[in-house]
Amino acid sequence: MSAPRLPPPHDALLDVAEEMALAGFEALALGARSRARRPGPNGLNGSHAADSQAAAERAALAEPGRAFDALPQWLDDAEPTLPLRRVGEGFALDEAEIALLALLFVGSISEAVARHVAAATNGAGLGVPVWLAQRLIGSLHADAFAAAGSLRRFGMIGVDQDALRIEARLWLREPVLDRFCGAGAHEPEVQARIAPATVNPALNSEDLARQLRTALVDRGRDHLSPVVMAGTAEPAMVAASLGSLGLRPHLMPATAVPDDANVRDRLSRMWSRDAALDGAVLIVIADDRAGPFLGDFVDRVVGHVVVVGERPRVELRRAVRIVGDAHVASASTTDRWRSALGPSRTEKLAAGLAQVASQFRLSATEIEAVAAVVGDDIDAASDSRAAAAVLWHAAGRVAPTVPVPGVSVVEPAYTWSDIVLASPIEAALRRVEMHVRHATTVLDDWGFGERMAGRGRGVAALFSGPSGTGKTMAAEVLASSLDLRMMLIDLSQIISKYVGETSKNIAAAFEQAERSGAVMVWNEGDAVWGVRGTVGNATDRHVNAEVGDLLQRIEAFRGFTIVTTNLRKAIDPAFMRRFRFAIDFPMPSETERRRLWAQVFPKAAPVDAVDWHALAALPLSGGSIRNVALGSAFLAAEDGASIDARRIAAELAQELQKHDQPMPAINFGTPR
């Protein structure tokens, strides 16, 4: 066997291309033998004139430069999903360019063809040299290898640039070769910004599919399909409708369009190639946060593009077709939930359904997935409150966590029983919880949201105080009490030195929070939201612009945001008015430290009798007390003993040393 077996229809292409290439090499060999046997002027170089004549006739019939002439007809009858056919049609390649892709394909995977290439080139180098490709494909023109040509510009072939053009080696780029072999492959930078869409056939709209088909088959003067503006159509519905047309929909938020022109150009080229090979279509989700480069990116893409949401605020060079919103307008989120759950479950959920619909911005596909999973649990719930709790929990965890620099999504573990706070602080936190829990009732049912013209719907809280006083723990307690996930944001990672990237990262974080309903927790907020400086250069202007953009996002955010800081005075006064709550976390009092020491050790921990009053006299934060308790536990485990006053004192000395504080003399006395 000269080549591996491939899945259909890729195996058929391999067989045909291999047969054509081998016939071409045979023709080259016949021609060479004919020339070698041709008689000289005196007839001394050809002992068998008849054999020489026959060889010459066979070489003339074979015509090596026409080895792939039958390939276009074969492709016309081949499967429409064959990647070679797709890429030929998608980029309007001529017959010689398509033949070159076929030759490079079999040259990479067929042992017989590879051996012929090695023999013809004395085995030097990888790939097929230009001169050999031109002998096998007589109509192959120089433009096929040009940097600006489709084959190179869109990353289909590689060219050895350290050799004379005629000697340069050619090969298929790996993503193309993999697809020709029936395997999926993507450029990492494409995967980082563009993801396959989940297609739910139940969401297909026949009317929308008909409109999309009519628009996409149209061609402008540039021979490209027009950019389709689908307005308010739901992305999941657009994806399902495109899927019914045999296309593979992919999703890209407009905020993922690169700011850097070179990165943007490369992404558009790599995606264009992958889309042509896969029969894919790009769905761009745009909103009022779409950057100024969306139009440029869309213009650069060769292939189908559908834009949902806000239309780019720039003129496009490509033709544009608009799909009528009246035909494809998606149902409200609450209506989606009602439809997915059915009348009896909707009735049982009562007001809880509206609360879920308001908190979590899920797609139609995700709504149906949640409804299918929790339906039986809702039926089994004892009352409306219990049924709503079941739905709330599932809805808050169905949205996938998309990787965002500096953002981690976690399940909260601490509850109200785990935290020790002064009574006024706990009362303030309870008020925060109350505002989040009853937002739908007050803002929607009672009309306060309309009275405020949509502003101030979200809840933003500032937690300030020294390190270790329980700010982040309090945020986790609130998330746990509200049964929401937490989005912990590391500002050291989300802030980028590249202009515009910080705003892009922040936009992605807010997008994920809005969909999942998670509590956003920004630790050390003064690092990015401190007092804005004077403008000294272009970078200062961009930094201040990004801070201003963040202030607007906080105000427009519909969810729950917590910012923690050790330095409340460092927060920009312009930002303070965005907070509905500002809570100071002071160092714990001696009474609170006594409670912290008493409950910091788990029940299963082997703790000797200790005078907690003596320890509580030391002015430690809750975080420091936890560090001491954990460290002393490890000391006890190492010694195979219990946690006693001596080990606690040893770990206490280590903790104080971190803060440049001396270890005081402690008289544990009689345990109390």
CA distance 374 to 368: 10
Fold of 590-658: Helicase, Ruva Protein; domain 3 (1.10.8)
Give the 3-state DSSP-derived string for 160-217, with helices as H, strands as E and coil as C. Answer: CCCCCCCCCEEEECHHHHHHHCCCCCCCHHHHCCCEECCCCHHHCCHHHHHHHHHHHC
Which DSSP letter does residue 317 get? S
Task: Please tell me which residue, 456 or 396, carries the higher pLDDT value.
Answer: 396
> Mean pLDDT: which of 288-297, 405-414, 427-436 is highest?
427-436
pLDDT value of position 572? 67
Average pLDDT over residues 18-28: 90
236 vs 5, higher pLDDT: 236
Ranges for all domains in the chain classified under CATH 3.40.50.300: 407-584
Q: What is the pLDDT of residue 44?
A: 40
User: pLDDT class for 501, splitting at 50, 70, 90?
Assistant: low
Residue 218 has pLDDT above 90, yes or no: no
pLDDT band at 392 (very low <50, low <70, confident <90, very high): very high
* CATH class of the domain comprising 188-328: alpha beta
Q: Is 51's pLDDT higher than 70? A: no
Q: What confidence tier does 149 reach under pLDDT thresholds 50, 70, 90?
A: confident
How do residues 96-142 score in pLDDT, each as one tens digit? 999 999 999 999 999 999 999 998 888 767 889 999 999 999 899 88
Mean pLDDT of 19-23: 91
Decide: helix, strand or coil at residue 628. Answer: helix
- How much is the pLDDT for 402? 67
Least confident range of 376-390, 402-416, 444-458? 444-458
Q: What are residue 519's DSSP bridge partners?
A: 486
Strand order in the sheet with 169-172: 128-129, 169-172, 157-159
Check if the beta carbon of residue 633 is closer than 8 Å to that of residue 605.
yes
pLDDT for the residue 645:
86
Query: Given this model, what pLDDT does residue 81 score?
Result: 86
Is the pLDDT at 40 greater than 60, yes or no?
Answer: no
| Position 461 pLDDT exceeds 60 | yes
Instruction: Tell me the pLDDT band of 254, cut-offs 50, 70 and 90.
Output: confident
Top-ranked range on mean pLDDT: pick from 229-243, 384-398, 549-563: 384-398
620-668 tens-digit pLDDT: 888 899 999 999 999 999 999 999 888 998 888 888 888 778 787 776 6
pLDDT confidence of residue 233: 81
Residue 327: its H or E element: helix 325-328
pLDDT of 42 > 50? The answer is: no
3-state helix/strand/coil string of 548-575: HHHHHHHHHCCCEEEEEECCHHHECHHH
Which pLDDT value is given to residue 548? Answer: 58
pLDDT at 529 > cutoff 70: no
For the stretch 261-293, pLDDT in tens is 899 999 999 999 999 999 999 999 887 666 678
* pLDDT attached to residue 43: 44
Map tokens 């009022």 to a residue.
288
Q: Which of 60-69, 104-113, 151-160, 587-596 has the lowest mean pLDDT?
A: 60-69
List, by residue range, all CATH 1.10.8.60 domains of the chain: 590-658
State the Cα angle at 205 between 204 and 206, rounded to 5°: 110
Mean per-residue pLDDT for 336-351?
92
Helix spans in 381-497 (H):
384-395, 423-437, 439, 448-451, 471-482, 491-494
As a whole number, mean pLDDT of residues 547-569 equals 76
The CATH classification number of 407-584 equals 3.40.50.300
Instruction: Give me the pLDDT at residue 539, please.
Output: 47
